[in-house]
Amino acid sequence: MKTADGKVTQYAYNDKTGDLSRIDLPSGKSIVYKYNSEGDTTAVSDGTKNLFDYVYDADGKLTEVKDSTNSKSKRYSYENTLTNSAGDGQGRLMSITDYFGINQSYKYVTGIDSIKTDLPSSMTFNGVESIYSYDKVNRLDKVEVSGNKWLFRHDELGRVNQTKLPMNTGSVDYEFGDNGAIESIVSETGVANVVNDQYSYDQYGNMSKKQSNGVVSTYQYDAMDQLTEEKIGDKTFSYTYDKRGNRTSVNGTNATFNIMNQLTQFGSESISYDADGNRTGDGKFTYEWDAVGQMTRLTEKSTGETWSYQYDEHGRRITKVHNGTTIRYHYDSDTNHLMAESQDGQVIRQYIRDQEGNLLGLKVNGTYYSYHKNYRGDIIGITDMSGNLQASYEYDSWGNVLKEDVKDTNLKNQPFRYASYFYDTESSQYYLMARYYHPKHGVFLSVDPELGTDETVGMHNGYNYANNNTVRNIDPSGRAWQSADQAGGYGSNNIGGGVSISPRIRVVRVSTPKSYRVNASSLKQVFNNVRKDTSRFRVSNKHLNNAGGRYVKFNTSQKSKVNKWIREALNSERKRVYRNKNKTKSYYVVANLHKKIGTRGEKRIKIVFGADGKIWTAYPLK
């Protein structure tokens, strides 16, 4: 990133391994990375002291992460590799004890001939077990928690077309068009019609009309597919943009941006930033940030009230402190899936998810509830186990909450709203893991962690949200927008599905002097297609461990497991992207998964794909 006064972010790489070793920011802050001989991260520091330390066993498996700043540790345990007949060579993750002492453990499906798989059969979190059942082709068909069962039915293409809710309280039905687009969602119980949506699309695949519980909304777009107008019932919202993808007006309220695409004025509200591109103040709040671009303190100007935040080695927020009260956040393994919130050592809200992290329900004070969502994953309603509607929400396309009706006090502080994002009521902003999103302003508070150089509007902007098509796109991680149908607002999703054990790097990985390396984020549109293609791709048999020949091989015969590793690599914060030197335009990704995936002990994976986002091949790499 280059600042207005010419200062730049500088990057240093290890000459032998190519690993990122140091980032020097315009503010003078630094981030330093240390590795062992196997290429595994051993420490991350701010240039003066270690922030996180990593401990591995003799097999190279991560066993402990130490939060050196707060003197806390997270521990991992694995299955004995000698009993793993799947030929994993690594051993599956069996349990994690997080920084606050909350334990989660895993069990796995045993397949044909007693061969163990990576399909989870159950996950126990803080003593509450979620049991997963599958059909003959390994599609999830049931999630059961304390006798509450969510049942899933699939169509001939493998899509979820019906979900039956616990205690026979109702069902959610999905209908798809010939082109695969979702056309209808009806979610009803015996006593409440929670979601009744019908969707229409234009010739470019953009949603043009939505009928939701009797309210008609229409949408218009410009030539770049940016949303220019939405009508919700009798309300009209209009938007304009400049050539760099900045939203310059909202219903007549003008917005001004500087040369770095930072919002500096919104109506009468002035907005400021630090040298690293983080917002430091606006009309309502002041913001403080750490060396790696994580917000550590929020202060309301008018009252002086403060909220402070802490994060783990993945950049996930793990505490929020306000008026002497500390809320702690607990996640599933090393994914972005929030599983529970606790206060004073007691879990106050626990979330029910399927095996890929989709929100199904929650438990508060011993009472269970079901979430109801629309196509984008917006939380539209919450019902109890008798089918009664206990909370309902309405939003505009940017995530501003237009209406909220909460009847059950247990649900007063449940945090999930628009696109199933975590909503901070103190700021009316969304926490999207890598960054915070301001729906009123329509921008992120800090620069894109994977800022690129794309020529397409929105790809290289650095601050705009969802490529300005907020009807169609979402950004669950704060790192890369994607079409809502990829994220599974109504079906299954793979977002955060992989276990990543590499430290979070907020700042862009730019090109090294190697002439054929390209920045990962400069291929965001291609990457969106690659991620979507993962579910279709099937690795060549010659790269599986039961094949003959001298080809490099994965240490598994399960193609689904290879696909899981591919997803981990594509979502990795340490992936490297290169352009092939041949005449055919193609690219490849190299990522260290920090575990043995090859029959020769390889930990890295290489994924080759075309400019259209179709994966050509994948194999282990020394």
Q: For residue 403, how far is the Cα from the chain centroid? A: 26
Q: What b-and-e string marks burial along 167-190, b requiring 16 or more CB atoms within 10 Å of the CB? A: eebbebebebeeeeebbbbbbbbe
Lookup result for tokens 């490099």: 552
Confidence band (pLDDT; 50, 70, 90) for 613?
A: confident
Residue 103 confidence (pLDDT): 93
pLDDT at 558 over 50: yes
Mean pLDDT for the stretch of residues 137-166: 95
Residue 77 confidence (pLDDT): 86
Residue 571 confidence (pLDDT): 76
Residue 295 confidence (pLDDT): 97
Residue 16 confidence (pLDDT): 66
Q: 342 forms bridges with which residues in the sheet?
A: 328, 347
C-alpha span between 209 and 579 (Å, rounded): 40
Residue 12 confidence (pLDDT): 82
481: exposed, middle or buried (Cβ count in 10 Å: 0-12, 13-18, 19+)? buried
Residue 401 confidence (pLDDT): 98
Percent share of the chain, pLDDT over 90? 56
Higher-pLDDT residue of 13, 455: 13
3-class DSSP state of 530? helix
Number of Cβ within 10 Å of residue 416's Cβ equals: 20
Q: What is the CA radius of gyration of the chain?
A: 24
Number of Cβ within 10 Å of residue 583's Cβ equals: 6
- Per residue in 43-74, pLDDT (tens digit) is 999 888 889 999 988 877 788 999 988 888 99
| Cα dihedral across residues 426, 487, 180, 220: positive or negative | positive
Mean pLDDT for the stretch of residues 440-467: 74
Residues in the chain, total: 622
- Per residue in 187-218, pLDDT (tens digit) is 999 899 999 999 999 999 999 999 999 999 99
Percent share of the chain, pLDDT over 70? 85
Q: For residue 326, how far is the Cα from the chain centroid? A: 24
Residue 403 confidence (pLDDT): 96
Q: Mind giving me the DSSP string for 48-105?
A: SSEEEEEEE-TTS-EEEEEETTTTEEEEEEE--GGG-TT--SS--EEEEE-TTS-EEE
C-alpha span between 546 and 564 (Å, rounded): 19
pLDDT at 260 over 80: yes
- Per residue in 324-364, pLDDT (tens digit) is 999 999 999 878 999 999 999 999 999 999 988 999 999 99
Residue 113 confidence (pLDDT): 56
Mean pLDDT for the stretch of residues 155-172: 95
Helix (H) or strand (E) holding 281: strand 279-281
Range among 18-22, 176-180, 281-285, 549-553 rated most confident: 281-285
Helix (H) or strand (E) holding 533: helix 524-533
Q: Mind giving me the DSSP string for 314-325?
A: TS-EEEEEETTE
Confidence band (pLDDT; 50, 70, 90) for 258?
A: very high
E-strand stretches of 155-278: 160-164, 170-176, 182-189, 193-201, 207-212, 215-221, 227-232, 235-241, 247-250, 253-257, 263-266, 269-270, 272-273
pLDDT at 144 over 70: yes
Residue 202 confidence (pLDDT): 94
Q: Mind giving me the DSSP string for 549-587?
A: SSS--BS-S-HHHHHHHHHHHHH-TT-EEEE-SSSS-EE
pLDDT at 505 over 90: no
Of 415, 385, 471, the residue nearest 191 (C-alpha): 385
C-alpha span between 447 and 152 (Å, rounded): 39
Confidence band (pLDDT; 50, 70, 90) for 482?
A: confident
User: For the chain, what is the mean pLDDT?
Assistant: 85
Mean pLDDT for the stretch of residues 113-124: 78
pLDDT at 517 over 90: no
Tokens of 84: 């793993």
Mean pLDDT for the stretch of residues 20-41: 84
Residue 118 confidence (pLDDT): 73
C-alpha span between 503 and 238 (Å, rounded): 41
Among the listed ranges 218-222, 254-258, 271-275, 527-531, which one has the minimum average pLDDT value? 527-531
Domain ranges of the chain: 517-621
Residue 456 confidence (pLDDT): 36
Among the listed ranges 227-231, 318-322, 453-457, 574-578, which one has the minimum average pLDDT value? 453-457
Residue 396 confidence (pLDDT): 97
Confidence band (pLDDT; 50, 70, 90) for 525?
A: low
pLDDT at 2 over 80: no
pLDDT at 459 over 90: no
- Per residue in 386-413, pLDDT (tens digit) is 999 999 999 999 999 999 999 999 999 9
User: pTM for the whole thing?
Assistant: 0.80
Number of Cβ within 10 Å of residue 241's Cβ equals: 20
3-class DSSP state of 532? helix
- The DSSP code for 1 is -
pLDDT at 514 over 60: no
Cβ contacts of residue 304 below 8 Å, gap of 6+?
A: none
Of 59, 95, 79, the residue nearest 334 (C-alpha): 95
568 and 593 in contact (C-beta within 8 Å)?
Answer: yes
Residue 61 confidence (pLDDT): 78
454 and 524 in contact (C-beta within 8 Å)?
Answer: yes
